[in-house]
Amino acid sequence: MLSKKVEKALNEQVAMEGSASNHYLAMACWCDREALSGCAQFLFDHAEEERMHMMKLIHYINDSGGFAVTPAIKQPQLEFEDVFDVFDTAYQNELKVSAAIDNLVEIADQEKDKQTYQFLQWYVDEQHEEEVTYRNLIDRIKLIGIEGRGLYFIDKEVETLAATKAANEGK
């Protein structure tokens, strides 16, 4: 049985994951409009992944005797300066999610909720992977540049990353 404090914190994370999904969906749409199909596909896939993270939390809350609250949908940012801005914004969002997960782990530990603490370890690992992915993408964008053919090469690089990730996940 979840304590009210843990249940509240988990529901806040549900909202954060839902918001992240919407943000990535908006970023994907921006990339689609800008003819960056590889970037768009990567971000569409990532939006779906964030939704899966939200659903995993919802099921955990309900299975643990709590009540999962579906989050309100807030309009995400729709416009970006360029593809660097898209991925930097995504990276900053991932850092916020990581901080929230760290806070959740701390709450579970304080509440002596070992089941939730153990459940959250998957999210800790996942966030590390996400931070590395976005930091590497930003580094590649800086290296390649966004002028001229640089956008084409960035898009192909992200498309390859998306295909590799999908293959590794069995899509």
Express each pLDDT in 97-125 by its tens digit. Answer: 999 999 999 999 999 999 999 999 999 99
Report residue 4 as tokens.
């009210």
Q: What is the pLDDT of residue 45?
A: 95
Q: Domain coordinates of the chain in residue numbers? A: 4-168
What pLDDT band is residue 82 in, cutting at 50, 70 and 90?
A: very high
CB 84 within 8 A of CB 138: yes
The vertex-88 CA angle with 124 and 144, nearest 5°, equals: 115
Chain segment 66-76, per-residue pLDDT in tens: 999 999 989 99
Instruction: Name the pLDDT band for 162 (thresholds 50, 70, 90).
Output: confident
Over range 122-136, report the average pLDDT.
96
Give the Cα separation of 112 and 114 in Å (integer): 6
3-state DSSP assignment of residue 36: coil
The DSSP secondary-structure symbol of 71 reads P
- pTM, full prediction: 0.92
pLDDT at 169 over 90: no
Task: Tell me what pLDDT residue 148 has.
Answer: 82
Helix (H), strand (E) at residue 124: helix 114-144
Q: Which residue has the higher pLDDT, 1 or 107?
A: 107
CB 75 within 8 A of CB 18: no
Rounded average pLDDT over 29-44: 96
Residue 153 and residue 140: Cα distance in Å, rounded?
Answer: 10
CATH class assigned to 4-168: mainly alpha
